[in-house]
Structure 1
Amino acid sequence: MVASIALPRLMRIGAGASRLLPEILGQLGLSRPFVVTDPYLVSSGRTDTLLERLASAGARGTIFSETVPDPTVASVEAALAALKAGDFDCVVGFGGGSPMDTAKAVAVLARHGGHMRDYKAPRLQDEPGLPIVAIPTTAGTGSEATRFTIVTDETSDEKMLCIGLAYLPVAALVDYELTLTKPKRLSADTGIDALTHAIEAYVSRKSNLFSDGLALQAMRLIAPNLRRVWTDPSDRAAREAMMLGATQAGIAFSNASVALVHGMSRPIGAHFHVAHGLSNAMLLPVVTAFSAPAAVARYAACARAM
């Protein structure tokens, strides 16, 4: 069996990695980023800091901050309209899963047109859109390193999964310092999401030697540190482990697959507007009890890793 592996072209991981955005854009020959973020990051002043760094390097960035949790077709269309009103050569997703997923969707629509529903699975969108640079501010979705995006069709309450290399960022800046101010509830929800990514990548029928190593390492990083960041949000070592683990889990499932927990979690989130990590937390014990007898050795390896 030949595993099909896809990764961001450039990755910078560690304290202060987000400050390297101007350098990364320069390496990629880009200078006019459309920055997709959220209202909190604007109010906290972090987007101002990002724009100042870009300006000092001669790059001209524009902020779009009207994203919503669990991106909708309407919110993506609003971002797309803002992008089309300017002259941009790339899209930067700066935030948690929602800004990054919005950035991915906009990058594809800006280049290829159509409607978001046109791109939902089983369509495979490998032809690239605008280049995407991802800067995660939560340790959860792993979207900075995956070839997926999810957008909710608010008319049908369907969470549309969109797949393909077009959604894989060309660069990811993984800076755990951006997570030091995360509230406890968000830390728990996103941490469980990342842990579920790692477990499901490992027990998936699409797992492979490459994804297995990353999935197990992600479990080793996330499991002992999730309670630590809940207890002490300023625990830098635990925050670093969680951020790296979330990225590794994202790479693992992007190159294998998720499984039943995520398959059931998406409709729960769409219909009942439950936080994605929380719905995973509700489902993971039940799905594990159902699935473990069919993959005892795999689940045992997960248990040992955690």
Structure 2
Amino acid sequence: MQLFKLKTTVHEFADFKAFAEAFALGERDLVITNEFLYDPFMKACGLPCHFVMQEHYGQGEPSDEMMNQILSDLKGVSYDRVIAIGGGTVIDISKLFVLDGLSNVLDAFDRKIELKKAKKLVIVPTTCGTGSEVTNISIAEIKSRHTKMGLADDAIVADDAVIIPELLRGLPFRFYAAASIDALIHAVEAYVSPRANAYSLMFSQEAMRIIIGVFRKIAGNPEARHEYASEMLTAANMAGIAFGNVGVGAVHALSYPLGGNYHVPHGEANYQFFTAVFKLYHQKNPTGMIVALEKKLAELLECQSSEVYEALDALLGQLIARKPLREYGMKQDECRGFAQAVIATQQRLLANNYVPFSEDEIAQIYTQLY
């Protein structure tokens, strides 16, 4: 039984210029990024790469429509490497662009084509949340189906992941908070995954230690986050290594209908369900691996094990307010329908639950948070 793998080489550079020189970025490179990153960090380098600005194709989460339009515009462009420099949207898009013979991304998500890697992939994350630079997963909103889908395959794993703390400078605090909370969720969900093992637990524990430690230092002082850019990027990377090996579960599964229907950003959507899911986990099986998790969180939060979820809510609430689901536009009669959609479409994630959830239990969480 496979316990652990890491196919990606991880690097760190102080700034973008040092990275560009070390990787010899040139005319055979396709760089997918954003103008708000290109202008302050890349423009002065005068690189001859082919640049694609993701926001020219739409705002928010990646979608099949967005990806297909970029694919169409790249017809006739020849390149050997895909360089992703951005957040989750840029990274999820870029992963698909290394596949051989791709003309419609739905064919990949539906596995109607052979998934064969044809280009090198280098990922530079500019938020401290996705961990996607070291996973084999790409997530997209499938517009016609009003949900998100995940593609998990080693063909889309990055060859190199690059940490550049400089690139976090311009990230607005709300995005920083939602992304880093998402990284914490990755670590915590991986910790109680049925597939968790000594190797994944090591990465989960260290990611939790760093993230919660930084949160406690910056709560009430958002500008202090810049002092910990390298630490948070590293922690998100570690959390990505953990969940890339053993998976995430119900928190992510329940967030997908909210994101797919109401375009709630991924990290913020996960945040809505975080402690509610773990309280139900504890209620259903308070004697398993969750005991070790709650003990570890209690140490980091300096509280009793019985108080960890309240303490987590209090700490995270100092970073970003958690809103009732109705404030995103969700309707109360959708609670059951969302639960049915999760059961029908998210078994890949639900298989990683600490304990199984029924449709009624999932509907109960939606109703509780509505």
User: Do these two structures clear the TM 0.5 threshold for a shared fold by scoring above it?
Assistant: yes
Q: Counterparts in 2 of 1:245-264, with a 5 A limit?
A: 245-264=235-254
Matched, 1:97 2:88: yes
Read off the aligned partner of 2:269 and give its amino acid letter: S
Q: Distance in 1 between matches of 2:130 and 2:77?
A: 29
Residue in structure 2 matched with residue 48 of structure 1 by the alignment: 43
Matched, 1:303 2:288: no
Q: Distance in 1 between matches of 2:87 and 2:23?
A: 20
Q: Distance in 2 between matches of 1:290 and 1:88?
A: 49
Residue in structure 1 matched with residue 281 of structure 2 by the alignment: 291
Matched, 1:198 2:187: yes
TM-score under structure 1 length normalisation: 0.87
**Structure 1: gaps spanning 5 or more residues:** none
Residue in structure 2 matched with residue 167 of structure 1 by the alignment: 156
Read off the aligned partner of 1:184 and give its amino acid letter: F
Secondary structure of 1:159's aligned partner: strand
Residue in structure 2 matched with residue 65 of structure 1 by the alignment: 53
Name the larger-Rg structure: 2
Q: Counterparts in 2 of 1:193-272, with a 5 A limit?
A: 193-229=182-218, 231-272=221-262
Cα RMSD, aligned residues only:
2.4
* Equivalent residue pairs, number: 292
Match of 1:81 among 53, 72, 79: 72
What are the Cα deviations for residues 87-144 of structure 1, in whole angstroms up to 9, with x where unaligned? Answer: 2111111111111111111222xx1325322222788976323111001111010111
Q: Distance in 2 between matches of 1:281 and 1:302?
A: 20
Secondary structure of 1:45's aligned partner: helix
Match of 2:166 among 170, 177, 180: 177
Q: Distance in 2 between matches of 1:126 and 1:210?
A: 28
Read off the aligned partner of 2:234 and give its amino acid letter: L
Deviation at 1:211, TM superposition (A): 1.1
What are the Cα deviations for residues 153-189 of structure 1, in whole angstroms up to 9, with x where unaligned? Answer: 1112221100111121101111122112221111111
Q: From the superposition, tell whether residues 40 and 25 of structure 1 become closer, same or farther in structure 2 (CA, over 3 Å).
A: same
Q: From the superposition, tell whether residues 18 and 211 of structure 1 become closer, same or farther in structure 2 (CA, over 3 Å).
A: farther
Deviation at 1:4, TM superposition (A): 4.2
Read off the aligned partner of 2:63 and give its amino acid letter: T
Matched, 1:21 2:20: yes
CA contact (8 A) 2:123 2:160 kept: yes
Identify the range of structure 1 (228-237 vs 277-286) with the bigger mean alpha-carbon deviation.
228-237
Secondary structure of 1:149's aligned partner: strand
Deviation at 1:83, TM superposition (A): 2.9
Secondary structure of 2:124's aligned partner: strand
Q: Distance in 1 between matches of 2:157 and 2:209?
A: 25
What are the Cα deviations for residues 273-297 of structure 1, in whole angstroms up to 9, with x where unaligned? Answer: 1121111111001001011242332
CA contact (8 A) 1:92 1:103 kept: yes
Q: Distance in 1 between matches of 2:16 and 2:280?
A: 41
Secondary structure of 2:148's aligned partner: strand
Matched, 1:149 2:148: no
Secondary structure of 2:223's aligned partner: coil
Q: Distance in 2 between matches of 1:272 and 1:288?
A: 24
CA contact (8 A) 1:201 1:253 kept: yes
CA contact (8 A) 2:71 2:103 kept: no
Residue in structure 2 matched with residue 38 of structure 1 by the alignment: 34
Q: From the superposition, tell whether residues 302 and 292 of structure 1 become closer, same or farther in structure 2 (CA, over 3 Å).
A: farther
Secondary structure of 2:144's aligned partner: coil
CA contact (8 A) 1:18 1:174 kept: no
CA contact (8 A) 2:107 2:113 kept: no
Deviation at 1:209, TM superposition (A): 1.6
**Structure 2: gaps spanning 5 or more residues:** 301-370
Deviation at 1:5, TM superposition (A): 1.1
Matched, 1:276 2:272: no
Q: Distance in 2 between matches of 1:261 and 1:125?
A: 30
Q: Distance in 1 between matches of 2:53 and 2:16?
A: 22
